[in-house]
């Protein structure tokens, strides 16, 4: 049985979260699609919020 790929928007969000944790700028979003870009930026914002709370250093 083949595994299904994760939703592309879910993947964009997780990649944005990873970018936010690593300290990348929000301008470095690799997605051109408006929906995927929105998800990436949402993940990036979530990561920055977590960092400001002190969960990541």
Over residues 13-45, the pLDDT tens digits come to 999 999 999 999 999 999 999 999 999 999 999
For residue 56, what pLDDT band results from cuts at 50, 70 and 90?
A: confident
pTM: 0.84
Q: CA-CA distances (angstroms) from residue 34 to 26, 29, 38, 43? A: 14, 11, 6, 14
For residue 2, what pLDDT band results from cuts at 50, 70 and 90?
A: low
CB contact set of 28 (below 8 Å; sequence gap of 6+): 19
Q: CA-CA distances (angstroms) from residue 20 to 1, 4, 10, 28, 43? A: 35, 27, 15, 10, 7
Residue 5 pLDDT greater than 80, yes or no: no
């Amino acid at each position: 049985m083949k595994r299904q790929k994760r939703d592309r928007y879910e993947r964009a969000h997780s990649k944005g979260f990873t970018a936010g944790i690593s300290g990348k700028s929000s301008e470095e979003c690799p997605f051109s699609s408006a929906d995927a870009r929105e998800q990436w930026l949402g993940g990036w914002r979530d990561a920055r919020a977590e960092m400001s709370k002190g969960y990541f250093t």
